[in-house]
Amino acid sequence: MKPRDLILRCYAERKDGQWQAFCLDLCLAAQADTFDESKRKLSGMISDYLEEALVGEDKAYANQLLSRKAPLFSWIRYFRLRLVRVHKDFTRLFILPVPLAPVHPHAPL
């Protein structure tokens, strides 16, 4: 595993008075009234999603769930935003770390 595999690429846009935050690496999205709230919701969704995929009821499908990427148009939007100057009132790029928890060496997997 490379260090960059522990970073999730995200962006948020404000539309119609709401902030929509997107995690491209896991194809997740959250919506809220403020940027900080949408980012916080997305972070919580990521934690829950990864927990379910790795140790929850969906662990049998972890390979598919962890390799689920956003559609091409979302990636194009993200890279376009990286190339042009981002207007903080309407769009923001950010990264979130993959949430990690230590595992006891003798714990059953």
Higher pLDDT, 18 or 106: 18
Residue 60 covered by a domain:
yes
Does residue 41 belong to any structural domain of this protein? Answer: yes
Q: Is residue 56 part of a domain?
A: yes
In a domain, 51, yes or no: yes
Report the DSSP beta bridge partners of residue 93: 11
Angle at 89 between CA 43 and CA 23, to 5 degrees: 25
Q: Is the pLDDT score of 98 beyond 50? A: yes
Residue 88 pLDDT level (bands cut at 50, 70, 90): confident
Q: What is the mean pLDDT of residues 33-39?
A: 97
Among the listed residues 7, 6, 4, 22, the one whose alpha carbon sits nearest the alpha carbon of residue 95: 7
Domain membership of residue 1 (yes or no) is no
Task: For residue 91, list its beta bridge partners.
Answer: 13
- Whether 95 contacts 11, CB under 8 Å: no
Q: Is residue 48 within 8 Å of 41, Cβ to Cβ?
A: no
Q: Structurally, how many domains does the chain consist of?
A: 1
| Spatial CA neighbour of 109 closest among 59, 73, 70 | 59
Integer Cα distance of 88 and 32 in angstroms: 16
Mean pLDDT taken over the chain: 88
In Å, the largest CA–CA distance within the chain is 51
Position 19 in a domain: yes
* Domain extent at residue 20: 8-96
Query: What integer is the mean pLDDT of 60-82?
Result: 92
Query: What was the pLDDT predicted at 101?
Result: 64
Q: How confident is the model at residue 3 (pLDDT cuts 50, 70, 90)?
A: low
C-alpha–C-alpha distance, residues 94 and 35, integer Å: 11
| 54 within a domain of the structure (yes/no) | yes
Q: What is the mean pLDDT of residues 24-43?
A: 97
